Amino acid sequence: MSYVPTAPGAGMNARATREIGQPLASAAGWMKFIGIMFIIQGALTAITLIGIIIAWLPIWIGVLLLQSAGAAQRSHIQDDANALIEALTRLKTYFIIQGVLYLVGIALMIIYFMFFGAMVAAALHGNLGH
């Protein structure tokens, strides 16, 4: 049987919040580090003319990780279930963005290989026809 609170964080006692949030709170340092690295990556990407178009993505990802880490620590220190829900929600958004980026990358790679294959086939066909 699972427990579903009526409102975010309602009915969750402090011990449960602390125990559930402990693994996330203990990873907050790494989340902050990775978040800062994403922000730096976004800033460096923005230096180039084309990079300005996509620089917001790593910056947004970095901010999400920093916010999630802060909420996880706040949840653990203050036994705040709402902060734990906030941390997990921001982490969920991070994973969705990363998943979409991977899918876009795979699609672009498939298009690239199809284009490259067509170019090689055309070149071979042109050479064999003479």
Whole-model pTM? 0.77
Q: Give the DSSP letter of residue 10.
A: T
CB 119 within 8 A of CB 53: no
Tens of pLDDT along the chain (130 residues)?
Answer: 343 455 555 555 667 788 888 999 999 999 999 999 999 999 999 999 888 899 999 999 999 999 999 999 999 999 899 999 999 999 999 999 999 999 999 999 999 999 999 999 888 887 765 5
Tokens representing residue 91 in the block: 């982490």
